[in-house]
């Protein structure tokens, strides 16, 4: 192919590539895509972060507290304390200090945690019991209301004739029957709140001057305590990050804290020393536990002294014989050892006196006396039959000595 042809081919390829690039660029369209990475680490660590930021946007002074020690320096007048953490480990003294702080002019907001026990006449929630507020289950309240309604309906049927009733017109306040409604003066419509309707607050001492109700239960009570104010809720999850924007939840938080400084108490009690160590130094505690176990194992008492391993160089035939004899004595008894010696004596006597085994026992003993030149009494003591009963160590040793003397003399 000539140079001219190659040049033309190259220009054609270059032109085709340029047209292709222009076409592709015309087809491409830029767009924006929003990738949701979930809540920020601060929001995951603090479920009430949105509530805190909302209050700051309302120009309120907000601070966090990690324990009840803040009450020592926290002023009461013009201050609202919201207890968002668990109170199940609060002591009676701590509960008393919180209510004393409130009585000096503070506003206390907390969540009821325990159910009223009718048998014990207490709930176990120290602050609820001191304020005379009882938290009940709504289903128990419904059963009581049903029984009372049935009795009232039966009485009404007996008093008036049956007549057709007209269904009342639906009003705006019934748009959300499952929600809690809070009515305010000079307001036409209530505030709607999504409290948990499984629980009901009951003011046993009739001290509350404001409340918020759903169709079947009360979920917020407000009462005076000394110079201060107490607001009790059935739950505070409506102020968490994913719920504060629903209905009038944010408005309620502003309404309860308006014109005051706010302290959010996330922990009503502190962990003990062991819990803090387990949370912050688990590896150090595990290492310490292992060291303690090894130390106890090292200094622990044994059941007996350790037997030293005998050296092979010092073992002798006498030790093996003694060990064998001790083994036979332990497993077969004294009679077996005595019979073995007596049979050995009889074998030696047969070699020196043919026909020894056919002689009577008395004649055998006489022949043994002649062969060994021992008295007949010594032969009789040595060759007497072994008794199956256990003998004393001295008797057994004495008879063995007689048999050995008789065997050595043959």
Domains and CATH numbers, the chain: 41-145+175-269 (3.40.50), 319-409 (no CATH)
**Under a CB-based contact definition with an 8 Å cutoff, are residues 135 and 114 in contact?**
yes
What token pair was written down for 14?
């270059």
Q: What is the pTM of this model?
A: 0.55
The predicted structure's pLDDT at residue 392: 74
Cα 405 to Cα 293: distance, rounded to the nearest angstrom = 61
Cα 45 to Cα 361: distance, rounded to the nearest angstrom = 104
Q: Which residues contact 181 (CB under 8 A, 6 or more apart)?
A: 173, 190, 191, 192, 193, 212, 213, 214
The predicted structure's pLDDT at residue 161: 33
CA 200 to chain centre: 31
Q: What are phi and psi of 82, to 5 degrees?
A: -105, 115
Cα 252 to Cα 262: distance, rounded to the nearest angstrom = 14
Cα 212 to Cα 221: distance, rounded to the nearest angstrom = 7
The predicted structure's pLDDT at residue 170: 35
**Under a CB-based contact definition with an 8 Å cutoff, are residues 182 and 190 in contact?**
yes
> pLDDT averaged over consecutive 10-residue blocks of the chain (410 residues)?
76 84 81 78 81 87 80 85 82 85 89 85 84 84 55 41 30 60 80 85 86 84 89 87 87 88 77 71 88 83 67 66 71 72 79 78 77 74 69 74 75
> Residue 156: which region, alpha, beta or left (left: phi > 0; alpha: psi -120 to 50)?
alpha
Q: Which residues contact 379 (CB under 8 A, 6 or more apart)?
A: 365, 368, 369, 372, 406
Q: Which residues contact 258 (CB under 8 A, 6 or more apart)?
A: 58, 60
The predicted structure's pLDDT at residue 156: 35
């Amino acid at each position: 192919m000539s140079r001219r042809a190659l040049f033309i081919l190259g220009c054609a390829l270059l032109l085709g590539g340029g047209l292709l690039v222009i076409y592709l660029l015309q087809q491409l369209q830029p767009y924006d895509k929003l990738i949701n990475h979930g809540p920020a680490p601060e929001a995951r660590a603090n479920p009430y972060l949105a509530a805190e930021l909302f209050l700051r946007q309302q120009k309120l002074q907000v601070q966090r507290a990690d324990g009840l020690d803040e009450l020592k320096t926290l002023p009461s007048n013009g201050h609202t304390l919201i207890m968002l953490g668990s109170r199940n480990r609060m002591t009676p003294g701590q509960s008393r200090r919180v209510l004393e702080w409130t009585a000096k002019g503070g506003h206390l907001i907390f969540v009821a945690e325990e159910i009223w026990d009718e048998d014990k006449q207490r709930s176990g929630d120290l602050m609820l019991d001191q304020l005379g507020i009882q938290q009940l289950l709504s289903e128990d309240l419904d059963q009581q209301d049903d029984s009372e309604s049935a009795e009232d309906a039966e009485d009404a049927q007996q008093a008036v004739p049956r007549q057709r009733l007209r269904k009342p017109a639906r009003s705006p306040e019934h748009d959300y029957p499952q929600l809690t409604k809070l009515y305010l003066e000079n307001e036409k419509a209530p505030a709607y709140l999504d409290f948990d309707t499984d629980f009901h607050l009951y003011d046993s001492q009739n001290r509350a001057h404001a409340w918020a109700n759903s169709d079947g239960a009360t979920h917020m009570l407000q009462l005076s305590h000394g110079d201060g104010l107490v607001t009790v809720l059935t739950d505070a999850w409506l102020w968490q990050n994913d719920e504060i924007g629903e209905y009038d939840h944010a408005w309620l938080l502003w309404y309860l804290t308006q014109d005051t400084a706010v302290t959010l108490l996330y922990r009503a009690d502190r962990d003990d020393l062991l819990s803090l160590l387990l949370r912050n130094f688990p590896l150090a505690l595990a290492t310490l536990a292992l060291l303690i176990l090894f130390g106890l194992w090292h200094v622990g008492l044994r059941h007996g002294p350790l037997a030293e391993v005998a050296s092979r160089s010092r073992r002798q035939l006498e030790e093996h014989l003694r060990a064998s004899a001790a083994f036979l004595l332990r497993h077969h008894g004294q009679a077996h050892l005595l019979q073995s010696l007596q049979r050995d004596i009889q074998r030696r006597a047969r070699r020196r006196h043919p026909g020894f085994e056919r002689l009577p026992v008395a004649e055998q003993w006489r022949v043994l006396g002649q062969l060994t030149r021992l008295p007949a009494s010594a032969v009789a003591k040595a060759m007497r039959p072994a008794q199956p009963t256990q003998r004393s160590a001295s008797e057994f040793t004495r008879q063995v000595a007689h048999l050995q003397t008789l065997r050595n003399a043959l």
